[in-house]
Structure 1
Amino acid sequence: MLENIINLLVALSVILPIVVQLVKYIGTLTNNKKVLTLADRAMIIVSSLDSLGIANEAKKQEALGKLTNFANEVGINLSLSQAEDYIENAVQALRRLQGEVKPNSEVSNNAPKTK
């Protein structure tokens, strides 16, 4: 009987750290998915607001509202400061993409020369 208890305790002491690490890993994966979801949503929001003819501060406030509402809907805790970071990151990424894409560059480069 005592031997069975000792064997059980030894087995638990070996398995428990593995289980704890597995739970931490699963938590990290879940958190990473939330971060990616928020980053993707921020990019969608910023992209959709970019073409509107309103002031940048108004766009920022609208984006913050939309992102925090989305986070609440899907059950992600998001502070205003964190939402601002996601929006700012999305704005910078969009600006970088817009800088890489030159509108009509292929068309103007391949257009026939006028005489």
Structure 2
Amino acid sequence: MTKAILVVDDQPGIRMLLQEIFNDEGYSVTTAESGKEALDSLYDRPFDLLMLDYKLPIIDGTEVLKQMERDQITVPAIVMSGLVEDVTKGINEFSIVKKVVAKPFNIQEVSEFVKRVLE
């Protein structure tokens, strides 16, 4: 069965890049541009992986993770941020976070890590 990935980023270029790469690798990709959209998608259907930007409009990445934990949505998450040092401190409390990735990221490294998480 095809693995489903939810990509959440307020930057259209990053959403499109990740969607194209993961589609080419055979994954089903859904995108969202805000934390609210991400939560709506997570409540609507199951995903195998969440690629989540830390800085988002309306509901930020930390709040998305808090609500997921509160509602027992245990989708593994990879958090993306331009401020990795700041993010890593507050993000370690969430068991679903598998990795924090610095922007700009090496797409090959991200792709290989995604493959490991989904296997």
Q: TM-score, normalised by structure 2?
A: 0.25
Higher strand share: 2
Q: Which has the larger radius of gyration?
A: 1
Higher helix share: 1
